[in-house]
Amino acid sequence: MSREKRKKKNLVDYKWITQIIILSFVISVAFSFISETAIPNLNIFFGIILTLVFVLIGVVFDMVGVAVAAADESQFHSMAARKVKGAKMAVRLKKNADRVASFCNDVVGDICGIISGSTGAVIALKIIEKTNLNDMLVTLTIMGIISALTIGGKAIEKGFAMKKSNQILFNFARILSIFNK
């Protein structure tokens, strides 16, 4: 590889950075809008369910990000040659593993962490309004539970994602290929 090509390859990809910043903003606003409009109008039970959904989305996307980074691309080339549905998408995802992992882990995962924390705060306020429990105790308990579920879920999925990376990537690619016509 010539010196100029190596130099170009090492430069920061400003187009990708701009795209990921805009995408982060849009996803964050959309998730925030859902949580801000839905949670105050839901009873506590459904608010907790919605918060758990945000935690689960964050954990699942973190798993996909790890799996894409750890997967073996050669298996998918073979499948793509046999025209297996989703294999071409898996190759594309693996070839862009750094971007896919960044999107899944950093964008979706982090946004879900932030949103689940804010929905947890709304739930804590609703519990405080309906009970005579100590404000700080309720808030700390809710935030502790959300953090434990998020961190524990991500800790569990990382080992699983490393061991089953090809299967996870393939299943994710099959789902994406449905939408990519």
Query: In three state form, how does the secondary structure of 77-129 look?
Result: HHHHHCCCCCHHHHHHHHHCHHHHHHHHHHHHHHHHHHHHHHHHHHHHHHHHH
* Location of structure tokens 């804010």: 118
Residue 100 belongs to a domain? yes
**pLDDT of residue 81 exceeding 80:** yes
- The band of 139, judged by pLDDT with boundaries at 50, 70 and 90, is very high
Quote the percentage of the chain above a pLDDT of 70: 93
The amino acid that residue 179 corresponds to is: F
What confidence score (pLDDT) does residue 53 get?
94
Residue 179 belongs to a domain? no
Helical pair 87-95 and 165-179, crossing angle rounded to 10 deg: 110
What confidence score (pLDDT) does residue 13 get?
79
Query: 14-27 pLDDT, tens per residue?
Result: 888 888 899 889 98
**pLDDT of residue 32 exceeding 60:** yes
For residues 89 and 174, the answer to whether their CB atoms sit within 8 Å is yes
Residue 19 belongs to a domain? yes
- The band of 42, judged by pLDDT with boundaries at 50, 70 and 90, is confident
More confident call, 29 vs 10: 29
Q: How far is 79 from 118, CA to CA, in rounded Å?
A: 43
Residue 60 belongs to a domain? yes
From the list 116, 97, 106, the residue with the least C-alpha distance to 23 is: 106
Question: What domain range includes position 53?
Answer: 12-174
For residues 72 and 167, the answer to whether their CB atoms sit within 8 Å is no
The predicted model gives 163-177 an average pLDDT of 95
Neighbours of 41 (CB within 10 A): 8
Residue 20 belongs to a domain? yes
Q: How far is 157 from 92, CA to CA, in rounded Å?
A: 23
Residue 5 belongs to a domain? no
Residue 6 belongs to a domain? no
Q: Domain count for the chain, please give it.
A: 1
Residue 120 belongs to a domain? yes
